[in-house]
A and B are shown apart, each in its own frame.
Chain A
């Protein structure tokens, strides 16, 4: 089977846009991706739309109402925080299968502020703060503490993830924040759920991102100059684990997807030049160093201590600023990290450019759970 290529991709600067509609936000990224690919909506044969907040609201069709109702098939996807990546993957599948030559994936989200999650269900009284916590900061704090239990990972090591990603975002004009947060600032910020302080939680923002995907034939016809090759596209769900019911497992589904992705791409973790992974909380990034393979089990603390995942390090992680500082518009996140890696492979990432980047990996987790991984390659 021939390869699938990204011909165009874009994201809007993440922020808070309560006065704009979801389709309006989606349309801006879609226009950007079409322009980047030098094609028009009339060239697009099918579209996948990722959105969570209005999952029943036909966001894809409403996006086409903004950019051109050409009558093409539209699929609306929801897969928790893996929503955007799932839309991208299904677009990829359709091209890979030879059904279409040119398609588009768009991810968009408009978020409120505040805590996500919460323990609930069952009988008629609230369970939050009674049967522990179901808030996302606490759930990912507990996942981080499992790592501390096994390997002695410290609060300071988790906090360093946030220092790094906030630093990276100062180099990314499309990130929500461009603010340096030194270690003391991160550690002394309001404690939300130990060991996650406020600066170690991802930012709820509004945002959108889009990508135009093409078959090899179409990509060659339109020009491969700035094309990015999709070397692997993998989706997994969470296999059964004994603590599942009380402790969502983001590790096993990531390991499962990573193994398949490396096999599909015919490369190993050491070949990867940069990673955009799901740092919904600082604790999560530490876990995924080991799940995705930049280091072996138990070495994640050392990796962050030695700066190996910072820009200029051995394998830069979340040079966009990550969900922690670029922001996390749920349905857009999975395509935004594909935009980021593509931008590096094209050598267009300006001040945050990972020099000589040839292969990059993107990863998202939708709690519940879904994991999507893409491996992207520079085209020579």
Chain B
């Protein structure tokens, strides 16, 4: 149940979604300084090359293309269906999974490689036990 006493503003849905004060939200990855492998979220060592303490924070692009997807019709109780579970390759590196919104959940309307944008919105009204609301990221077809 939402608790009306929630004192904080919206929280990021994952710790690698950054909400800088006075700035635009963005997704943060960590990039290996030795082999350039990219990881979502914080990480100390590189699982591609085995390098140690060699990862640096990097800001991911909000532009990408649809790599693969599924249209989900059956999920856990309480989860609204259908929705499009999408895997998106971002410009400049990094692959992210999330909901593709703004398209009909119909394979005829979705094409591989279609340009998409990362957008940041409320997390479908979901709140935690303390009543905090969350900001999530979504993909939508790129404008123009």
- Residues of A whose CB lies within 8 Å of any CB of B are 115, 118, 122-133, 135, 137-138, 141-143, 145-146, 148-149, 155, 190-196, 240, 242-243, 245-247
Contact = CB atoms under 8 A, between A and B. Distances in A.
Nearest to A118: B76
A115 B75 contact: yes
A142 B100 CA distance: 13
B67 to A, nearest CB: 7
Given A243-B67, A245-B95, A193 B132 contact: no
B68 A142 contact: yes
Given A131-B99, A240-B47, A247 B134 contact: no
A129 B125 CA distance: 12
A126 B113 CA distance: 28
A245 B73 contact: no
Given A123-B15, A125-B128, A240-B37, A131 B70 contact: no
B8 to A, nearest CB: 12
B12 interface: yes
A145 B72 contact: no
B98 interface: yes
B99 A132 contact: yes
Q: Is the interface of A mostly helix, strand, loop or mixed?
A: loop
B130 to A, nearest CB: 8
A129 B81 contact: yes
Given A115-B76, A132-B98, A242 B38 contact: yes
5 contacts: A130-B98, A131-B14, A138-B70, A142-B85, A195-B107
Contacts of B55: none
A243 B67 CA distance: 10
B74 A137 contact: yes
Which of A132, A138, A240 is packed against the most chain B CB atoms within 10 Å? A132
Contacts of A141: 70
B61 to A, nearest CB: 15
Which of A133, A145, A196 is packed against the most chain B CB atoms within 10 Å? A133
A226 B134 CA distance: 63
B51 to A, nearest CB: 12
A193 B74 contact: yes
A337 B12 CA distance: 45
B114 to A, nearest CB: 11
Nearest to A140: B70
B80 A123 contact: no
B11 A123 contact: yes
Interface string B49-83: 00000000000000000011111111110011101
Nearest to B89: A243
Given A138-B70, A194-B73, A245-B40, A129 B83 contact: yes
Nearest to A240: B48
A130 B113 CA distance: 22
Nearest to A245: B40
A246 B27 CA distance: 14
A129 B80 contact: yes
Contacts of A132: 85-87, 97-99
A240 to B, nearest CB: 4
Contacts of A148: 112
Contacts of A246: 40, 87, 95-97
Which of B15, B74, B87, B128 is packed against the most chain A CB atoms within 10 Å? B74
Given A131-B99, A240-B48, A242-B95, A191 B67 contact: no
